[in-house]
Structure 1
Amino acid sequence: MRQMSHLIEIEGTWRQNRGYLNHEFLAISTMAHIDERNFRSHYYEKVGFKGVEGKKSLEILLKEDPLDNDKLTTFCHRFPVPGIYRPFVWKIVLGVLPIHQSIHQFVLKQRREQYKDLHHALKVMRKIQDDTDLAICHRMMCQLSAGKLPLEESEDFLHPDYSDFDAMANSMIEIVDDEIDGYWLSVMFFKHMEKNKESINKLNEKFEFYLKKEDSKLYNYLLERDLLSRLPYRLWFQQCFAVVFPVPCLARVWDKVIGGACAILIFTAVSVVITYERQLFNMKTPEHVIKFLEKIPQDNADLIITKGIELWEKYGSFLKPDV
């Protein structure tokens, strides 16, 4: 009996140890799987395919009906939106289209009719001609719709609220490559920026703060020569870098801004200035600085935006400057 009892005790211990080993093996296997996924994600990031897994997630989100606006908004500021889906995703997040996909065709038809009515009204009023720049047409249509279009011919002024619309509309038209989509996205993006005006106004001081943290030597050089306040970063923020960057690169910044992360603009500006540190050290007048930074060369744009995103992530990927 005593021997039998001893055998049972040994068997129980063996079973317990086997269970523990199985548990440990499962844990190790799981960790290995996670490490494999992390390695794969890290590899994709290094070779420029950071959005590979993100694209699959987006395709799943876009199959939902109704669509989840919150999840799409989060996706925009966490991942680059694939170009093939970008216009549609932006239309949902900005409110051009509703979340219920079953009524999209009806809403699109209404949007087209409203576009045609506004465009026709401006032609009847002789405010636009066939050769009028499309971005200007869109701005005037937006003004007319909001009741802020100057009616008198002598009133040749641009309402201050719309002073940055043309630049953003020009870039939007290129990004979406569709006249009507370009108009509605420009209008809604403009309203999105207006809604976040308080946060946008705080970007200026935050830019100087993070520039000093990242490159105090350059910061002091610009400050001592009264060049810091002459940098065009206020205009960059107001126009969301429209016209500054080539459109394919600009869209990566706008993804995050449309997703609610206007703080990305701070680090994009810091990245621009740091990238051209050597050139800025050789400039003596504000005019030279402004002229140099008017248009970012295509070959540097991707690098600058990537560095800006990395800086944003380094400081916690916060959405607004007051966070």
Structure 2
Amino acid sequence: MASANFRKAYYSSLGVQVVEVKPSLETALQGDILDIERLNKLCLWVRIPHAYRPLVWKVLLGTNSLAKEVWPFVDQQREEQFEDLKRCVQVLLQRPAKSGLPNPPFSSSDDLTADVMVYMLLVQLDTGRSPRRLASILSSASLPHSLSHLRALANTMLEVCDTSESDAYWLFESFVRRYNVSFSDAPPATLQQQQPKQQKLSQQHAVEADRIATEIGAMQNLLRTHHAQLLAHMLSFGQGLEVYCYSWFRTYFASVVPPHCLEGIWDIFIGGAPGILSYLGLSLLLACKRKIEAVRSARDLVKLFDQVERWVDMDAVANTAIDLWERPVLEGMTKDLRKALGYNF
């Protein structure tokens, strides 16, 4: 609440009239057919209340149809498929009695975890692996490191959908499909050496790598504008920013920013402004500026970023990222458009 009050006071000092969120959102959710453009704009220019966020994201990510009349039927079908997938993972996780290994403490009645969500997604979507290979992955002691980026995304969705495990899973699944999150760590250079059924996964990884490179490049340009000396110091160790920040962008910052701080950022991202991620990276770098300036090697900088949540206030980082992103966007709009969004400058 203090963060929201500070943000409101800050906007008032800039002459900005903050849109009343709940009435605007409830109006947008009325009618038999939802207006996706209107919901996108709300995600961009107001922070969606936590209670409404799962529904809004389900519509924007395509989990729910724009036609409200089909929601009950779709929800029922998805709930049944969710339980089937969860039960399937339970069966695959069982180890033969002769192996001498204990079975993982998981049953279909247990609370859903991020790891189980990843396993469910592998069963549903990862057609590049054979059933035997999937069973081998699921029988391991823990989730493979190559899939840890998926765990971070799943954990965020669990926090966002804290009242429905089914909603959490289907939002996770829709997010992965919408944004082409890869299942593989194979470098793009090995694409031609793989079997046809594996190439789709490698192509997906190559697309993801290109996206991350573009976003890190945008963050580097922003840092050059806001604090060129800090950028020069980081580059002086002979490594590019991707060495330090790749995991940030691969997980859409779910690996470093707590879900309650990331929700507002993802509102904007899902609402149609992927550029917010580069501003979030900029905000993180600026927030630990003094720590970075004290570092004297690339190895120490990697260690610093592995523990960055210990050194910064993530709530402040998220708010600063939104402020940095909003101001140039708003200034580039016409006065009439700003007024329509609820701003008076």
**Matches of 1:122 and 1:216, distance apart in 2:** 49
Q: Which has the larger Rg?
A: 1
Amino acid at match of 2:11: E
1:131 to 84, 101, 106: 106
Partner-residue secondary structure (3-state), 1:316: helix
1:302 to 306, 315, 320: 315
Residues 131 and 154 of structure 1: CA distance in aligned 2, closer, same or farther (over 3 Å): closer
2:290 to 273, 278, 282: 278
2:84 to 111, 117, 121: 117
Match of 1:76 in 2: 43
**Matches of 1:74 and 1:186, distance apart in 2:** 22
User: Which stretches in structure 1 are left out of the alignment for 5+ residues?
Assistant: 1-40, 319-323
2:228 is aligned with 1:236: no
Render the CA deviation track for 1:162-182: whole Å, top value 9, x for unaligned: 552111101211121131111
2:67 is aligned with 1:100: yes
**Matches of 2:256 and 2:330, distance apart in 1:** 23
Note the C-alpha offset of 1:52.
4.8
Note the C-alpha offset of 1:130.
4.0
Residues 237 and 111 of structure 1: CA distance in aligned 2, closer, same or farther (over 3 Å): same
Match of 2:175 in 1: 189
**Matches of 1:93 and 1:108, distance apart in 2:** 16
Match of 1:206 in 2: 218
Note the C-alpha offset of 1:90.
0.6
CA contact (8 A) 2:247 2:255 kept: no
What TM-score, normalized by structure 1, do the two folds share? 0.76
Match of 2:324 in 1: 311
Note the C-alpha offset of 1:42.
6.9
- Give RMSD over aligned pairs: 3.0
CA contact (8 A) 1:140 1:149 kept: no
CA contact (8 A) 1:231 1:289 kept: no
CA contact (8 A) 1:270 1:308 kept: yes
Q: After alignment, is 287-296 or 125-134 more displaced?
A: 125-134
Note the C-alpha offset of 1:109.
0.8
What TM-score, normalized by structure 2, do the two folds share? 0.71
1:216 to 210, 228, 246: 228
2:155 is aligned with 1:170: yes
Q: After alignment, is 219-228 or 114-123 more displaced?
A: 219-228
Amino acid at match of 1:239: T
Note the C-alpha offset of 1:45.
3.0
Match of 2:166 in 1: 180
**Matches of 2:222 and 2:84, distance apart in 1:** 47
CA contact (8 A) 2:90 2:106 kept: no
**Matches of 1:277 and 1:260, distance apart in 2:** 29
Match of 1:291 in 2: 303
CA contact (8 A) 1:200 1:262 kept: no
Amino acid at match of 2:114: A
Amino acid at match of 1:211: L
CA contact (8 A) 2:287 2:312 kept: no
Note the C-alpha offset of 1:110.
0.6
**Matches of 1:283 and 1:228, distance apart in 2:** 15
2:11 is aligned with 1:45: yes
Q: After alignment, is 71-80 or 254-263 more displaced?
A: 71-80
Amino acid at match of 2:179: M
Residues 113 and 81 of structure 1: CA distance in aligned 2, closer, same or farther (over 3 Å): same
Residues 250 and 309 of structure 1: CA distance in aligned 2, closer, same or farther (over 3 Å): same
Amino acid at match of 2:161: V
**Matches of 2:237 and 2:330, distance apart in 1:** 32
| Structure with more contact order per residue of length (Cα contacts < 8 Å, sep ≥ 6) | 2
Note the C-alpha offset of 1:54.
3.2
Residues 172 and 42 of structure 1: CA distance in aligned 2, closer, same or farther (over 3 Å): closer
2:237 is aligned with 1:225: yes
Render the CA deviation track for 1:267-301: whole Å, top value 9, x for unaligned: 11011111111111111123332232234249611
Q: After alignment, is 53-62 or 111-120 more displaced?
A: 53-62
Match of 2:204 in 1: none
2:54 is aligned with 1:87: yes
2:60 is aligned with 1:60: no
Q: After alignment, is 55-64 or 84-93 more displaced?
A: 55-64
Residues 98 and 51 of structure 1: CA distance in aligned 2, closer, same or farther (over 3 Å): farther
Note the C-alpha offset of 1:135.
1.4
Note the C-alpha offset of 1:44.
7.6
